[in-house]
Amino acid sequence: MIPVLWGVVTFVFLIVHFIPGDPIEIMLGETATQTDVVALRASLGLDKPIFTQYLIFLKNIFSGDFGNSILLKNPVLDL
């Protein structure tokens, strides 16, 4: 059961990180300044190496923190 759960979590992480397009630029729109892009990337931890992002992702998932909704800005578990 644990290997399957780990596999699913890893698959989701990889899919989210390797889909085409920059999610930061999509979130901010075309009028965003480079400063805005850099600031949001840092606040979401996307400026860190991918392995570090993966470890943080695992820690958050297994501690019940599924992050915030991009559209509503609320914790995902509250939706």
Mean per-residue pLDDT for 52-62? 93
Instruction: Say which DSSP state 22 is in.
Output: -
Of the pLDDT bands very low, low, confident and very high (cuts 50, 70, 90), residue 67 is confident
**DSSP secondary structure, 23-77, as one string:** HHHHHH-TT--HHHHHHHHHHTTTTS-HHHHHHHHHHHHHTT---B-TTT-SBGG
C-alpha–C-alpha distance, residues 26 and 31, integer Å: 10
C-alpha–C-alpha distance, residues 5 and 34, integer Å: 37
Of the pLDDT bands very low, low, confident and very high (cuts 50, 70, 90), residue 27 is confident
Q: What is the pTM of this model?
A: 0.77
Average pLDDT, the chain: 89
